Structure 1
Amino acid sequence: MFCVRIQNLTQQTIIYNRLYNVEWPVHNVLAFTTTRLHPQKETLSPNHSYSSVYDQFNVGTHVGDNLERVNRNRHSLLAYLPKKTNIQWLEQVHGNKVVTIESHSITPLVADAIITRQKNIALAVMTADCLPILLTAVDGSEIAAIHGGWKPLAKNIITNTVNDMQTANENIIAWLGPCIGEYAFEVGEEVKCAFESQSEKFTSAFSVTREQLTLPKPADNGKYLANLAMIAKIQLNALGIHQVKHLNHCTYADEQQYFSYRRDTITGRMVSIICRQ
């Protein structure tokens, strides 16, 4: 599941991960997140220039890419999952709807979070700056996947998901994947207010931009830098979920490995997948 290239030990060590494996303290749950690099192709050089905004491993069918190529990419993910496992895709709408499934649907389900207690169903959420959130019960009996954009987070998608799970909150483990970083995600004051109206705790997840730091005080209706991962952690902790892991990679900053909607507008999508074994 990993493609690794290591230079001479006297030089800088370079590691290219095509799929980042999620390390759970749970033996019967498998999870990983993709990058924009194809897991079955040669490693790219550090100065590689992409010939297409969708190179190499886009899994989004709604972004203007060639559908035949996208479907090949999606199918190739099955090689990393248990046999007879199907991937359940979502039509993500930046809302707070959660679905619980007992069987696989060929048609993508309209929702931004999904739960299952069944084996042979892999739950998938696509991102290109938003925060992928994967949940598992400590005994591996239940799993969930959440599309953590700022709008779903503000609409309490995490709370809705956890409330629909059968597992006690303290027995849930959370994993936060790559997303736009705290120094790149500029938002308007309305985003900051949407969270602060719920709790003062969210104030720590926002900071003024570099431009505002030069002013005597932040300008009215100014811009702020938002920390998506911190927002999610605050919400998870408030629910009694304290086992939280985070792959702290900025999708905006790392063009070699990640698609980024904020950086490129027209771009592909990564996917984070979780399944019971």
Structure 2
Amino acid sequence: MTTKLPDNITMINWPTDHVLAFTTNRLPSPHQLPVGNLQDSSLTTLKQKEHRSAFSAFNQGDHVGDCAEHVALNRKSLLQYLPKQAKIQWFEQVHGNHVAEVLNYENKAIVADAAITRNPHIALAIMTADCLPILLSNKEGSEVAAIHGGWRPLSSNIIARTITKMHSSPSDIVAWMGPCIGAKRFEVGQEVKDIFCQMSADFSAAFSPFKSTLSDLKELKYWADLQHIAKLQLLNLGVNNIMQLGDCTYSNKEKYYSYRRDNITGRMASVICLKSI
């Protein structure tokens, strides 16, 4: 690839040349206008600046209150990093465990939290702002998958459901896990830990107890490690080739969006597609 990458695109060094994958962050692109330059008659100049600052640059989410033209421009700019015929399939993620098998591109977002395709003209995009993006392919590079790894989808076995629908054996699958809320930033209650530990006692290692200063001192809270949970699930399913980008979205405000930190915020995208050699 000869295109110079901006700071808001990170190419993933996928172990097969038949797959292309990258992830975005919130840093600005050269095409973007300063906050307040996009007109919106419903906002005063001051309110417009406050509104836009919540999304600050390279937002890929069209459902979070950002200017639609701004998001469309950001999404369109991603196409230059994909094969010429590829279109990005976007999803309406609902924190469930439905896995869509995408045969053809649909202009409307598909309701699903994971997807598989074997069509070389379709790129799958998962949006996150603390949840864990997971990308998969087989070693041959004939099918790819993308998973929205929030704690609810993970607790509903979305990884297993995705791999079951793939045509590849788990030993032939390559996995990548991207930036998400870190292991010392994701606060959950006892009920979340119990859900996972009822699945397997092995998941207890992904939870660290602490007393929250914002809650009843009698109520024990836990730090949850989403990457550790997902890695255990992948390994238990027989997927051993796992890559990780361990950045914490919550802790790095300049680079990443974080819903837990900001509530009103944009979304990053993790994208994967097949390509011809």
Is TM (by shorter chain) over 0.5? yes
Partner SS state of residue 197, structure 1: helix
Pick the aligned partner of 1:31 from 12, 17, 21. 21
Alignment of 1:7-156 (within 5 A): 17-40=7-30, 52-156=53-157
Could you report, residue by residue, the CA deviation over 1:89-120 in whole angstroms, capped at 9, with x for unpaired residues?
Answer: 00000000001011100010000000001101
* Identical positions, percent: 51
Shift of 1:220: 5.9
Distance 1:199 1:71, change over 3 A: same
Partner SS for 2:243: strand
The residue type paired with residue 242 of structure 1 is N
CA distance in 2, matches of 1:114, 1:268: 22
How far, CA to CA, are the matches of 2:135 and 2:88 in structure 1? 15
Q: Distance in 2 between matches of 1:227 and 1:104?
A: 34
The one-letter code sitting in structure 1 at the alignment partner of 2:238 is G
In structure 1, which of residues 222, 225, 229 is the aligned counterpart of residue 223 of structure 2?
225
Query: TM-score scaled to structure 1, two decimals?
Result: 0.88
Equivalent AA in structure 1 for residue 131 of structure 2: C
1:236-251 correspondence to structure 2 within 5 Å: 236-251=234-249
On the 8 A contact 2:137/2:143 being kept in 1, the answer is yes
- 1:2: how far off? 3.0
CA distance in 2, matches of 1:40, 1:21: 18
2:263 pairs, out of 249, 262, 265, with 265
Cα drift, residue 41 of structure 1: 5.4
1:237 is aligned with what amino acid?
L
Q: Secondary structure at the match of 2:252?
A: coil
Shift of 1:39: 3.8
Deviation (angstroms), 1:188: 0.8
For residue 247 of structure 1, what is the amino acid of its counterpart? Answer: L
Task: State the Cα deviation string for residues 27-54 of structure 1 (Å, max 9, x = none).
Answer: 1100000000134359xxxxxxx96010
Q: Unpaired segments of 5 or more residues in structure 1? A: 4-16, 43-49, 213-218
Indicate how the Cα distance of structure 1 residues 69 and 41 shifts in structure 2: closer, same or farther if over 3 A, else same: closer
Letter in 1 for 2:54: V
- 2:29 and 2:57 in contact (8 A); partners too: no
1:8 is aligned to none
1:235 paired residue number: 233
| Corresponding letter in the other structure for 1:92 | Q
Segments of structure 2 that go 5 or more residues without pairing to the other structure are: 33-49
Contact 1:19–1:39 (8 Å) recurs in 2 = no
Moved over 2 A (4+): 38-42, 209-212
In structure 2, the residue corresponding to 1:68 is in which secondary structure? Answer: helix
Count of equivalent residues = 254
**Hey, what's the Cα distance between the residues in 2 that align with 1:255 and 1:41?**
22
- Is contact 2:185–2:250 with CA below 8 Å preserved after alignment? yes
Instruction: Give distance in 1, aligned partners of 2:30 and 2:146.
Output: 25
TM-score by structure 2 length? 0.88
Helix, strand or coil at the partner of 1:122: strand
Aligned Cα RMSD in Å? 2.0
